[in-house]
Structure 1
Amino acid sequence: MKMAKKLVIIDTDCGIDDAQALMMALAAPNIQILGVTCVFGNTCVQNVCQNVLRVLSVCEREGIPVFRGCAGPLVGASSPPTDHFGTDGLGDVIKDRDPQWEEKSQREHAVDAMIRLVSENQKQVSLVALGPLTNLAVAVKLDPCFPKKLKDLYIMGGNMEGKGNLTLNAEFNFAMDPESAYIVLEEFLCPTYLASWEYACRNKLTWEFFEELINQDAPAARFMKTITSKCWAYSKEAMVSKRDVYFGSGFVSYDAYAMAACIDGAVVTESIQCPVRVELQGLMSRGMLTLDRTNALKKSHSVFVLTKCDTAKFSRLLLESLRQPSMKPKVEC
């Protein structure tokens, strides 16, 4: 008997690690991607759409619809994107940008598409959020019942220990739009799984594994090798980063940790279940995630904050993700 596939919507600000996570979902036999919704973050939302379309093209999965979403945070002016993954999000190595990307993207706004797809498949859709949470925050304001219609939510973002990678105390995705992160973690009462910055860093892989990963003989692996080739974030010899100071050197594909948890729950071996809140004030702590393990906030809703990962299982998912498209010969009837 054939198992039903897990229905997934991926919300992304498609940088290099988002591309890795997207390819992981494309390679998973148990996943059906209903659509990819794009949001600003690693780069502008126009580049994000182009990056997603490029990944789908490399993996020969152009039939998956791509929707353009929010171009800036819910409140205030946009912060300029960092160059962590290059100014275009994919390492600034792709010269032939697709002039037809707008025609290949859907006309429907990402938030409208998200609400529609979830409403058509109530309690069946897993939403995987890999960028700032702006699209999700707008969705719950347009349709307050939206979270109840979801099966579950997986977020790459936030932090457990007040260690930050964009600011001193805040992780990138939450710091780029703290109000949206606050709204999502207050109003989305569906089962929610948080892959924080520290979770990814504490479950890092070796640089030797990274070399094995990108040197596989497949189009997706060659694409990943190209987009990481000039990116300092994927160089063992690069300047010491905040990650190295806190956690030591290693290869971390941040967004892939949230995607792996969605694909196979057994990848996560330990988590903390507790209420959380996003800090909106503070010169240094704005955007920081706080864990309430003593119930001081008196909240009724808890989330699962992931802490330990089966790195062997995770590594296998990464390796499979770059063996695309499948080179198996097609069987003729």
Structure 2
Amino acid sequence: MPRKLILDVDTGTDDAVAIMLAALHPELELVGVTTVNGNVPVEHCTDNSLRTLDHIGRGDIPVYEGLQRPIVRRDFPVPRAIKKDVKVHMDELPIPPARSRKQRMSAPEYLVSAFAEARGELTLVAVGPLSNLAAAIAIDPNFVRNVPELVIMGGAVDKSNITPAAEFNIWADPEAARVVMEAGFERIVLVPLDATHRALVSLEQTRAMRDLGTPAGTAAASIIDYRINGYQTNQPTGIPETAPVHDALCIAYLVQPDVITTRHVNCVIETLGEYTVGRTVVDHEFRTKRAPNCHVAFDADRQAFVTLMTETFGRPHTSA
């Protein structure tokens, strides 16, 4: 029986690859997609998510739009946005316009309803700022108990990408991230930059995806190529012609758990530091007495990740 999941995204480029992987892998059933303000404004996140699903013939999967801003801070995205010259994401993905439409229900309301009805048979994967999840917790405290596993793309131990201390998804709404981390979810798997940068995708590998000739293969190749160009220009990975595809690694974990290597440790979110707001403070050396609350990924299997994506995107599927 396929594993059911809901994917919370801020699409974005790597989010689109994650959506395609979740929607097309035979061992997964993508029940719904929720969008949140993050990489681009939420209305663009929604449109890009709809475009992606329509392009691969999965316009049947509903998309719910969520929060337009962080739960506390009012200065996002200006002046806290990523510099405009860092070209990793785009307002409009290079695939045909969406034909399907977003659902009327808000993303937090949908999350509460879907997990209440799922009776423990649904996984939540959050690969953007955690605003929708914090809102769902505020709507219904039982939401936390209804989520058997929460997989988060975000945070950093030894790496960062938005400030010297923080990764974007956590930094973009640190108060929401703190609410989520302290809510008491049964199981949290955190996939930070430390792991995603161990699973880089190269131009040679995107050429193989493009050669598949499928809608997903060509779209993934185009999107990842864009990311590679942005990383080479602004934040080189250390390996020429490569880039991380952060969010898709979380989906790969659902199918092949050993694609990442985790440790069960304590993680708290910094919300007050003058220079460290949004920092995921991971006690991987056990210097405190705080109980482990999170399975944090420190490594990833690059070849297994790329192989899984390529094989999935090569499966026959038709554009709706």
**Letter of the aligned partner of 1:12 in structure 2?**
V
Give 3-state SS (helix, strand or coil) of 1:239's partner.
helix
Correspondence list, 1:130-279, <5 A: 130-161=127-158, 163-228=159-224, 231=226, 233-235=227-229, 238-241=232-235, 243-244=236-237, 247-249=238-240, 250-268=242-260, 270-279=261-270
Counterpart in the other structure of 2:60: 63
Between the two proteins, the alignment pairs up a number of residues equal to 311
Counterpart contact for 1:25–1:263, Cα < 8 Å: no
Q: Where in structure 2 are there 5+ consecutive unaligned residues? A: none
Relative distance call for 1:10 and 1:286 in structure 2 (3 A) is same
Secondary structure at 1:290's aligned position in 2? strand
- Cα pair distance change 1:294/1:306, threshold 3 Å: closer
What amino acid is the match of 1:200? Answer: T
Correspondence 1:29 to 2:26 = yes
Q: Residue 20 of structure 1 contacts residue 321 of structure 1 at CA under 8 Å; is this kept in 2?
A: no
Instruction: Name 1:79's counterpart in structure 2.
Output: 77
The Cα offsets for residues 31-66 of structure 1, whole Å up to 9 and x where unpaired, read as 111110110111111111111111111110111111
Q: Confirm or deny: 8 A CA contact 1:13 1:48 kept in the other structure.
A: yes
Structure 1 unaligned regions, length at least 5: 328-333
Kindly provide the CA deviation profile for residues 113-164 of structure 1, in whole angstroms up to 9, marking residues without a partner as x.
0010000012211100010000011111211121211120111000012x31
Tell me the TM-score normalised to structure 2 length: 0.89
Deviation at 1:30, TM superposition (A): 1.4
Deviations 1:54-90 (A, max 9, x none): 1111110111111000011111222245354344053
**Which moves more between the two structures, 294-303 or 255-264?**
294-303
Q: In 2, distance between residues paired with 1:257 and 1:60?
A: 22
CA distance in structure 1 between the partners assigned to 2:122 and 2:277 by the alignment: 31
RMSD: 2.2
* Number of the residue aligned with 1:319: 310
- Please point out which of 112, 115, 120 is paired with 1:115: 112
| Cα contact 2:264–2:292 (8 A) shared by 1 | no
Cα distance between partner residues in 2 of 1:184 and 1:237: 30
Which residue of 280, 290, 303 maps to 1:289?
A: 280
Displacement, 1:297? 4.8
- Residue 280 (1) aligns with residue 283 (2): no
Q: Is the 8 A contact 2:4 2:28 kept in 1?
A: yes
Distance in 1 separating the partners of 2:104 and 2:290: 39
Identity %: 28
- Which amino acid counterpart does residue 167 of structure 1 have in structure 2? T
Relative to the length of structure 1, the TM-score reads 0.86
After superposition, the Cα gap between the structure-2 partners of 1:271 and 1:301, relative to the gap in structure 1 and judged at 3 Å, is closer
Distance 1:185 1:109 in 2: 22
Q: Which residue identity does 1:128 align to in structure 2?
A: V
Distance 1:109 1:292, change over 3 A: same
Q: Is the 8 A contact 1:128 1:258 kept in 2?
A: yes
Spell out, residue by residue over 1:280-319, the C-alpha distance to the aligned partner (whole angstroms, 9 max, x if none): 1223211011112355554344211112223232112210
* Amino acid corresponding to residue 79 of structure 1 in structure 2: P
Letter in 1 for 2:256: D
How far the C-alpha of 1:237 sits from its partner, in A, is 8.6
